Amino acid sequence: MSAVIDSHTGSEAEKASLAVAEDSRETDWKSKSFMASMFMGDLDVGMSYPFPEQDPTDKAEGDALLERMNAWADQELDGDRIDRDQKIPAHVFKGLNDLGLWGVKIPKEYGGLGMSQMNYMRVLGDLSVHCGATAATLSAHQSIGVPQPLKLFGTKEQKAKYLPRVAKGAISAFALTEPGVGSDPAAMKTFAEPSEDGSHWVLNGEKLWCTNGVIADLLVVMAKTPSKMKRGREVQQITAFIVDADTEGVEVMHRCEFLGIRAIENGLIRFTNVKVPSENIILGEGKGLRLALTTLNDGRLGIPAVGARVVRELAHMGAQWAKSRFQWGKHIGEHEECADMLADLGGGAYAMKALSDYCGALSDQGGRDLRMEAATAKLYNTERLWTLADRALQLRGGRGFESESSLKARGEAPFPIERALRDARINRIVEGTTEIMHLFLAREALDKHLRMAGPLLGRASVGVKLKTLLRCAAFYPAWYAKLWLGGLFKSFGRFDGRLAKHLRFVERNTRRMARTLFHAMVQNGPKLEARQKTLARLVDLGAELAVMCLVASRLQSALDRGDDSDLEVGLYHLDAATLRVDQLFWSLKHNTDRQVHGIAKGMMEGVDALPDIVTPPELRPLPRERGSDLTSGRLTSRVDKSGRVGENAAK
Q: What whole-number distance in Å separates Cα of residue 225 and Cα of residue 279?
A: 15
Of residues 622, 624, 644, the one with CA closest to residue 635: 624
Tally Cβ neighbours within 10 Å of residue 377. 29
Instruction: Give the C-alpha separation, 416 to 106, whole Å.
Output: 32
> How far apart, in Å, are the Cα atoms of 451 and each of 169, 454, 581?
45, 6, 28
- C-alpha 393/C-alpha 323 separation (Å) is 16
Phi-psi region of 245 (alpha: psi -120 to 50; beta: other; left: phi over 0): alpha
Strands (E), 176-265: 191-194, 200-211, 218-230, 233-244, 250-255
Q: By the 8 A CB rule, do 406 and 414 touch?
A: no
* Cα torsion 283, 287, 288, 294: sign: negative
The answer to whether the beta carbons of residues 491 and 563 sit under 8 Å apart is no
Residue (of 628, 625, 626) closest to 165 by Cα position: 628
CA angle 275, 276, 278 (to 5 degrees): 130
Residue 177: half-sphere exposure toward Cβ, Cα within 13 Å? 17
Is 568 one of the catalytic residues? no
Task: Give CA torsion, residues 490, 492, 494, 498, to 10 deg.
Answer: -170
User: What single-letter amino acid sits at 147?
Assistant: P
- Angle formed at CA 408 by CA 406 and CA 412, multiple of 5 degrees: 105
* Buried residues in 440-471 as b, exposed as e (16+ CB within 10 A): bbbbbbbbbbbebbebebbeeeeeeeeebeee
**289 Cβ contact partners less than 8 Å away, ≥ 6 residues apart:** 20, 21, 24, 185, 222, 238
Residue at 19: amino acid letter: A
Report which residue type is found at 390.
D
Distance from C-alpha of 78 to C-alpha of 70, rounded to nearest angstrom: 12
- Gap between the terminal Cα atoms of the chain: 53
CA angle 308, 313, 317 (to 5 degrees): 145
112: helix, strand or coil = coil
What residues contact residue 259 under an 8 Å CB cut-off, 6+ apart? 422, 425, 426
Beta partners for residue 228, in sequence order: 235
Catalytic residue among 431, 444, 507, 544: 431
Q: Which residues on neighbouring strands pair with residue 181, listed in sequence order?
A: 178
Q: Which residues are catalytic?
A: 431
